[in-house]
Amino acid sequence: MRRALNGGMNTESQSVLPPPNPVPSTEIAQDMQARLARLSARRVAPDQPAATGRTTPAMNPRRKRHAAKRSRAAAVMMSVATAAGLSAYFQHADSAAASSSPNTLTGVATASGTGASTATPASTSASSSTATTAGAVTSSNSTGATATTATTAASTLADGTYTGATDTNKWGPVQVQITVVGGKITQVAAVQTPTSDNKSVSINARATPTLASEVLSAQSASIDTVSGATYTSDSYKVSLQSAIDLARATAVQAGATA
């Protein structure tokens, strides 16, 4: 077409007009045709490797969406089964630990400060509910006098610091210390709490301040159990009761001595 137009022009116009574009040779046109044909072929059959040897994954309709579908399914099943198995094992282990280790009250409640008294409840009980220091609290001082009293016999507490007996539940030992000033409990501290389990640490960190504030307001071991910290609360009350008993016994003994 262009050649025909150029051929039809006169010499004057040829000198004014810019030189015509070079005419593509037949060789080049054939090369272009071949490239176009290759591109068309790739679009039709994209799974065929290109000249670089790489496939085009985005354009491959036959490519699997999940090449490791079965392996992934196996991984899911194994993970779920492992988690379920571990949960069941933990439950079983906890049940076994609970049945094999009933609550025990051990040790000696000790006092420091006003009177040199020693309470020896040291009773071992089958459960925390019966592990109160119902046993006699024996108090002795330098005069050698021994006073035995029930927990409700005296209402006043001798000043001093009293450490309760250790009550061990299935999570670990709990021991409480009280400070009595002016016949009133002014300070309560948990000397020992279970530390073997991180959940216990977390629970006790939350429960012991609540229990302490309850003790300070109630001025006795008749306090509410903290929700979610039942074991700790029960053991806390047991140890607290032994410390209070010791303070009462000390007060009674001091009165008798006087």
Partner 1 sequence: MHVTARQHCLEQLAAHWMSSELRKGDPVNAWLWYVTRATGIVATVLMLASLAWGFLFSARETGTRLRPAWWLDLHKGLGGLALVFTVVHLVTAFADSDLGVSLATMLVPGAADTTTAAFTWGVIAFYGLAVAIFTSWPKMLFRRRTWRMVHLLSVPATALACVHAYQIGSDAHSAAFRILMPVAVGCAVYPLGVRVVGLALSKSQRTPSNN
Chain contacts with partner 1 (rule: CB under 8 A) = 63-64, 66-69, 71-72, 75-76, 79, 82-88, 90-91, 94, 98, 196-199, 201-203, 205-206, 227-231
Residue (35 or 206) nearer to partner 1, CB: 206
Is the dihedral angle over the CA atoms 170, 172, 173, 179 positive or is it negative?
A: negative
- Do the beta carbons of residue 137 and residue 119 sit within 8 Å? yes
**Which residue, among 193, 206, 196, has the nearest Cα to 232 in the 3D structure?**
193
Residue (3 or 54) nearer to partner 1, CB: 54
Residue (91 or 124) nearer to partner 1, CB: 91
Residue (220 or 230) nearer to partner 1, CB: 230
DSSP sequence for 17-61: SPPPPPPPPHHHHHHHHHHHHHHHHHHH-TTS--TTS---GGG-T
Q: How far is the CB of 67 from partner 1 (least distance, A)?
A: 4
Residue (55 or 118) nearer to partner 1, CB: 55
Q: How far is the CB of 15 from partner 1 (least distance, A)?
A: 55
Q: How far is the CB of 63 from partner 1 (least distance, A)?
A: 8
Residue showing tokens 């309560």: 188
- Between CA 49 and CA 35 the distance in angstroms is 15
- Between CA 165 and CA 245 the distance in angstroms is 11
Q: How far is the CB of 208 from partner 1 (least distance, A)?
A: 12
Q: How far is the CB of 231 from partner 1 (least distance, A)?
A: 7
